[in-house]
Chains A and B, each alone.
Chain A
């Protein structure tokens, strides 16, 4: 044994490099061997530690940065040089997706999750002032299960997973909680995640289980808080866009990349229900329903939102918009539900915005110009010092700056003080809204506008015939409707007829959870729906550009 050790010290490169993970106090957490030719990111993953890779490990996002405290690493790659500032590089930051160790390394991680436990505990928020349960008529309510009292409805969003646990006997909601979807660690957009899942079956299993385990952890915490067991949950109903459902089901996500299958229904029944039950922490045999998607990328989350808004009961000319990274839109013309999905990017959820954030403590959610026009007064969630801007704040700020002539309709700052961005104040040097942030928001807005025009055209509907708008999604309760109309985020109709429906998809999922014929409800909605694939629309791009500018909605 001494001979081997001597050999190792003479030829240290013969052994595989070892990655030593330390925490901020320099305590060793783990030692992970890194097989040659693996990046640090890959080596960590095979050891059960998943770093955040918003771009899927392509070297485009910079989120997988780690701190190299000791050891030899090769020279930084081009991607690292462009994504990490020279200050960061000097301090030892590297991108784990680019870094291949040349020898042993001592590293500290900045953002990772443990694949087996889901720790660190992803921030979980409790839904305050949630709306009352939207229930089916009494004759359609499921008879309760005498052996399992509880049921769960889950809205599997691209960025958030929302879970509601209900008492199926007494017919009330026990608790409703939201967590960030850990699949964001595999890619911020669904295409990146689909590509990951398609590489091999281990990947498919891993990315599916990560979401299921996270949802399961929420169920477990609710059960513990309210003193029952996860085994008392007899039914779970999922809604989500098709990508989320196919990834969860570990099946058919390749069909989403196949343009030929766009209009067809994609089978999202779980390929392994027992495995899914296990990941959810529930007993084998628990009833799991993935509400069927509509077509293409448009999933059951849109259908659930349509249910919760009672869109078909609202009269012809009713529009439903679920704002998100992938926004879904449905237009009811009295006969058919015309639907479309528009991928505008994560700007509505604060993604891709320098100082953007999801609604949470310290998030600026509203803003207005001072009377003398010299600055913006910002309201933050919790009244804390401003940490970032969430989507509704972006709407307000863009509207106010445009109104004051500081931003023109193209999205450029007026020459002078604000040329490099608008300073908002707040801690850590202050929040700055840059031109490219406004551009990101413009694009997201344009996607919505473009989609709405295309749907109205397809329905042969004149703008005056638009009577109601139901909105749900990323803006939560904070969206200022007047400002939204000023900048063209929403078509201009009387604010009286614009209704905010928070978490409409989750509310619809709860309805389906309680409904004795949930499958038929979905089927019937699908039969009344038409799906417009905007990729094949000649006019989408023209309508997109028309609505790119900061001014009221135009057609």
Chain B
């Protein structure tokens, strides 16, 4: 079946971090009659899932590869969405930001890139986001997940970071409505840290975060 071939070629291109080849494969497919919706839901998303699996199985991908994986998925999706027959159903909403006192945005960029294909709406709060703002913006946006990126030990542990968000969610009785996911180097080094700071989940990398966020949203909606 044509779609299987497209999937195979696209996956190869993504594994090779060849953005140009990936785009060529997709454009040829669309020209050949494959539906843009199929491209996103049956090619791009499964490929992201496969990348998540590959990273977990120690693919030893470097930063450039992680970034390109997100970039390719994002670029293809952005090109496909205007061609959709109808506006796709939303996969949920998240607010994302870098923790209070922290300014690294690259992790956030990678997560955001991977969520586009999953039709998850992202409200990007930027860097140095206080706990209060994470929560108020999440409520205003009707978000299902708060995603916090922290690259430094003191911002991961900080009272005004994830711990602050957990405290506020508890106070406002929102713990079942909004889940917290964290990511960043400190959480990779200590796989129990996310629990200590009150998060519901963590991800080792931005691409994997996309999948976990999709699962968290499903949990909230059930």
Contacts and interface: CB of A to CB of B under 8 A. Distances in A.
Interface of A: 55-56, 58-60, 78-79, 191-192, 195, 257-259, 410-412, 435-436, 438-439, 442-443, 534-536, 541, 544-545, 548-549
A60 B189 contact: yes
Nearest to A536: B103
Interface stretch (B3-11, B29-37, B64-72): B64-72
A450 to B, nearest CB: 10
Contacts of A544: 106
Given A58-B190, A545-B106, A438 B62 contact: yes
Given A259-B103, A545-B106, A59 B64 contact: no
B42 interface: no
Ranked 7 nearest A-B pairs via Cβ: A535-B103, A439-B62, A60-B189, A410-B64, A541-B105, A411-B62, A548-B64
A84 to B, nearest CB: 15
Interface residues of B, number: 23
A439 B103 contact: no
Nearest to B100: A259
B162 to A, nearest CB: 17
Contact of A436 (B62, B68, B103): B62
A258 B128 CA distance: 10
Max chain A CB contacts within 10 Å: which of B63, B64, B106, B190? B64
B153 interface: yes
B200 to A, nearest CB: 20
A60 B62 CA distance: 20
B153 A192 contact: yes
Given A60-B190, A191-B152, A191-B154, A259 B62 contact: no
B174 to A, nearest CB: 27
Interface in B143-184: 152-154
A258 B127 CA distance: 14
Contacts of B17: 410, 412
Contact of B190 (A59, A191, A534): A59
Contact of B154 (A55, A195, A535, A549): A195
B146 to A, nearest CB: 20
Nearest to B188: A60
A442 B64 contact: yes
21 contacts: A55-B189, A58-B153, A59-B189, A60-B190, A79-B190, A191-B153, A192-B153, A257-B101, A257-B154, A258-B101, A259-B101, A410-B64, A412-B17, A412-B62, A412-B65, A435-B62, A439-B62, A439-B64, A442-B64, A541-B106, A545-B109
B70 to A, nearest CB: 10
